Amino acid sequence: MDEIDMDEQQRVATFVDEHGLETPPEYRLLDLVSEVGEVAKDAAESTEYGAHPGRIDVDDDEIGDVLFALLAIADSLDVDAGDALDRSLAKYERRMADADTPGSGE
């Protein structure tokens, strides 16, 4: 599996710039939430709203839309998505080592 790196974030930033899709981060956040909602809708419908959890099916394109929206918001906030992911993975590694769970316990 490839790690999200600056190249992917730059691809999204270039696309946004080339197509005049710049927008403030708060609108990027709304787009991200909307795209995650579409993934949730796919999951809910494919499992008949939880009746058959083993049948979950989510469209790959919807996952791509979530990634696009996430990388676009990271770029609009001047956050290096690869660095942010590295920090999160290190945090989860520490939690797993300390408490055998990735959750914060809060």
Domain segments of the chain: what residues? 6-99
Tens digits of per-residue pLDDT, 32-89?
A: 999 999 999 999 999 999 899 899 999 999 999 999 999 999 999 999 999 999 999 9
Q: What is the pLDDT of residue 52?
A: 93
Which amino acid would we find at residue 87? R
The pLDDT confidence band at residue 6, using thresholds 50, 70 and 90, is low
Tens digits of per-residue pLDDT, 47-62?
A: 999 899 899 999 999 9
CA distance 74 to 84: 9
CATH 3.90.1150.10 fits 6-99, yes or no: no
Q: What is the pTM of this model?
A: 0.83
8 A C-beta contact, residue 39 and residue 63: yes
DSSP H or E run through 29? helix 25-46
Residues 6+ apart with CB under 8 A from 59: 42
CA distance 50 to 31: 25
CA distance 68 to 78: 15
